[in-house]
Amino acid sequence: MPAYERFSTFYDVVMDDPAPRAARVARCIDAYLPGASSLLELGCGTGSILARLTSVPRLTGLDRSPEMLDLARAKVPDARLVEGDMESFAFDERFDVVICVFDSLNHLLTFDAWQSMFRAVHDHLVDGGLFIFDVNTVGELRRLGEEPPWVYDFDGGVAIMDVTFADDGASQVMSQWDVRIFEDLGSSRYHLHHEQIGELGVGLAHIASALEDRFTLLEQVDEHDHTPTDESMKAYFCLRRVPSPDLTHREGT
């Protein structure tokens, strides 16, 4: 995962509107765990999602980038913000809700890392707690890699994003996002901020198989609230924690 030392200042400019993602999270909480009092966001970035989840009294954000967390503190001053790795994290408490949105999970570049995160999420949820996340699908990463670079003029500069990908022909796609921000310094001068960001796409059946021992699926929908496929743009998941996998049964066999 990139450190975002230089990119953090422009992160909100080049990302999609966070409001619809936050609204999905809020709707799932209202539907399946109303009254939730604690929430942990993995890969919280600049805090744009946390800032919109005002119905949850205790908010915690985890991110690897101290630069991102500095920006998040201005948006959600009452949240606890922690520098750490979402692949493997440890708090001395459990949460009612754990979320990982804005395709943050895709930034873990091996499926072993995804599974490690799933285990850590299970360990940090209360029984019956919610795990809410979304991903770019393998089909979406292929499409993005086949499109021409995306150019966006904004107040203060120009952003250019170019996506390439490598396809294993089966259940995984590895993509590389080349992001260049040309910061306008005035007098026809620009300063280049350059990041290369990897994303891993994984087939939905493979994801479901990795989750089924620890979580009960409540919702799995695409961007149109239909059943997603690997050719959908996004897949949104809402799951409920179940007790630890049948350890008692295993120990007794």
Task: Write out the DSSP string of 38-63.
Answer: EEEEET-TTSTTGGG-TTSSEEEEEE
Distance of alpha carbon 133 from its chain centroid, rounded?
6
Per the CB < 8 A criterion, the answer to whether 46 and 72 are in contact is yes
Q: What is the pLDDT of residue 139?
A: 95
Domain regions of the chain by residue span:
7-137+202-252, 139-201
Percent of the chain with pLDDT over 90: 72
CATH architecture assignment, domain 7-137+202-252: 3-Layer(aba) Sandwich (3.40)
**Overall average pLDDT of the 104-131 stretch:** 97
Distance in Å from the first CA to the final CA of the chain: 41
Task: Name the band, by pLDDT with cuts 50, 70 and 90, for residue 12.
Answer: low
Query: Which CATH entry fits the domain spanning 139-201: 3.60.150.10, 1.10.3720.10, 2.20.25.110, 3.40.50.300?
Result: 2.20.25.110
| Mean pLDDT of the chain, nearest integer | 90
Cα 99 to Cα 150: distance, rounded to the nearest angstrom: 28
pLDDT tens-digit series, residues 41-70? 999 999 999 999 999 999 999 999 898 899
For the cut 90, the answer to whether the pLDDT of residue 2 exceeds it is: no
pLDDT tens-digit series, residues 76-106? 999 999 999 999 999 999 999 999 999 999 9
